[in-house]
Amino acid sequence: MTNQKNEKQPIRNKKGLFLRLSKYVLQQWPIFIPAVLLTLLSNQLALMGPRFSGAAIDAIGAKGGVDFAAVWPNVIKMLVCYAASAILSYLLAFMMVRLSQRIIYKMRKQVFEKLTSLPVSYFDTHATGDIISHLSYDIDTINATLSHDLIQVMTSLYTVIGSAVFMLQISPPMMLIFCFTVPASIIITRYRSRVVRPLFRRRSQKYGELNGYAEEMLTGSRTISAYGRQKVIAERFNVHNDEAMDAYYKAEYNAATLFPTINFINNFSLALVAVFGGILYMYSQSGTIAAASVFFITLGGVAQFVQYSRKFAGPINEFSNVLHEFQSAFSAAERVFRVLDEAPEKPDAADALSMPQAEGEVALQDVTFGYTEERVILKHLSVLAEKGKTVAIVGPTGAGKTTVINLLMRFYDPQSGVITVDGNAIDAIKRRDLRLAYTMVLQDTWLFYGSIYDNIVYGREDATPQEVYEAAKAARIHGFIEGLPNGYDTKLSDDGVNISKGQRQLITIARAFLSRAPVLILDEATSNVDSRTEIQIQKAMNALMKNKTCFIIAHRLSTIQNADVILVVKDGEIIEQGNHKELLEKGGFYSTLYNSQFK
């Protein structure tokens, strides 16, 4: 819940965002520094072009006639400058693409590595689609700015400064025009940026929500079709889509309105330059203004000043257009850096114990836990699972059965009470060693893209092929695998959707059989197989569960009849415990649950 609130709180330090992005750029200095040098050289050549064109114009308008000896060399120099500038600009664009690729590669790598270090609670409180949006949409948005807009800003900055220097050399009085137009552009741009930035932040948020909803609905497409809810789901998607498009429109519209305003100011300044320059030229030609005067200007000088004024005003105009891209990139960077700034899973204590081979005795002593402070799930729960014994946990939905497993694995820590393994408190044991002491088979199967063999051996990569085959036989899946065209080398598609749900569950059970962990956790492990297969698996489980401490969560009470201890949990408390026969003889809540399944 806390993470959700933080997700909506913007990082308002724009300077801090810029500095963090700059660090990524500076780390690639072998590319960035040459790119800066190319920018300087390319723009310097482009700025030299008007100088030569102005000299050529003055040579054409010479009082003694056209001085071709001066015209053609200046024209050739102008063409060479523009051609060389274009070639260098091409090289610069290529280098900036390479620069952005490396930065984005590193950023995406850091985000994914960060996600793998975050606690389970983070994924419980954030939509999967929104998390994927950080890795795709947000980072791609930053990439677009780094590869295209950054080079444009670098070019524009040098062009503006260079143009101003050349215009001061040509006619300082005419520069007074920009003393009014440039501040007006800056004030308007700063004001609009404050308006636009929250809109781009909202756009990124809405796209994340849209991706999250789409991912959730696509995952449940079969259920949606089975219940005929396509129309309802489509309508809800349209609501999210409308919100995303509305956020997109408002951000883009408000950003786009800046361009015509700045364009008007720049065109107005250009008109003033042309009028004022023309007036100064006429007075200069009439002899009213002396050649030594600061107000004196030639026709070539006017032509140069007009070209430089376009170069000076153009980047300012482009900057207003690029600004909204930077606003979008900053909004995306906020979301990416928010993930990178998430607190990782609490590190192990400096004196944490190693547990290379656990014995398997597990105990919960007076444990109280709630995912939020307002709602307590488990209340003063005490459980003892002796080494090699099987403990079954049953109860109605929401009673806290799966929560017990989350605490055993230390995905969450209890608010009070102690959980021990072999007499050692689990918060004093290294997490890796603790979790390697367990092997889990969950109701929701997880298979990755790869061969069936790779999926089975995932939990123990040093297993021999024979051990893999034996595990598959024990899970009653070996025959099915051998019957496939490629056998154990058969490739599974994303999450194994090219095989049945029951077969996916059997493969995960085979993976668990291969593990040497002393504690086995089965959370509705046979819920996706038919009754006949369930009986076969149960026989295999009974053999493989020997000498292992087992926790079984099941709704099918027929699967736990041989458990050493059955704990009946209701409203976070153990209301009954005993073996199957004892609980039936009590005629209490367990007896009611058991009999209701066979009525």
Buried b (16+ CB within 10 A) or exposed e, 16-26: ebeebbeebbe
Same CATH topology for 16-340 and 362-596: the answer is no
Q: Over 90: is that where the pLDDT of 350 sits?
A: no
pLDDT of residue 63: 61
For the chain, what's the residue count? 599
Q: Quick one: which H or E segment has residue 366?
A: strand 362-369
Q: What amino acid occupies position 253?
A: Y
pLDDT digits (tens, 9 = 90+) for 290-327: 777 878 888 888 888 888 888 887 777 677 667 767 77
pLDDT digits (tens, 9 = 90+) for 523-543: 776 665 666 666 766 676 676
Residue 244 is encoded by which pair of tokens? 């995303």
Q: What amino acid occupies position 303?
A: A
Q: Which of 49-58, 184-193, 556-565 has the highest mean pLDDT?
A: 49-58
Cβ-based neighbour number of residue 489 at 10 Å: 12
- Do the Cβ atoms of 172 and 294 come closer than 8 Å? yes
Alpha helices in 220-292 (DSSP H): 221-226, 230-256, 258-286
Q: Span 16-340: which CATH code?
A: 1.20.1560.10
Cα–Cα distance list, 507 to 186, 220, 376, 416, 441 (Å)? 64, 22, 35, 37, 10
- The Cα 127–Cα 455 span in angstroms is 26
Question: Which CATH superfamily does the domain covering 362-596 fall into?
Answer: P-loop containing nucleotide triphosphate hydrolases (3.40.50.300)
pLDDT digits (tens, 9 = 90+) for 75-118: 898 899 999 999 998 898 888 888 888 888 999 999 999 988 88
Q: In 3D, which of 458, 462, 463 has the Cα closest to residue 448? A: 458
Query: 2 falls in which pLDDT band (50, 70, 90)?
Result: very low
pLDDT of residue 3: 43
Q: Over 90: is that where the pLDDT of 32 sits?
A: no
pLDDT digits (tens, 9 = 90+) for 395-419: 887 777 888 888 988 888 899 999 9
Q: In 3D, which of 305, 280, 306, 307 has the Cα closest to residue 295? A: 280
Q: In 3D, which of 70, 307, 164 has the Cα closest to residue 299? A: 307
Mean pLDDT of 442-455: 82
pLDDT of residue 99: 87
Cβ-based neighbour number of residue 118 at 10 Å: 17
What DSSP state is assigned to residue 357? S
Mean pLDDT of 145-169: 82
- The Cα 211–Cα 127 span in angstroms is 9
Domain boundaries, the chain: 16-340, 362-596
Q: Over 50: is that where the pLDDT of 522 sits?
A: yes
Mean pLDDT over the full length of the chain: 81
- Do the Cβ atoms of 579 and 572 come closer than 8 Å? no
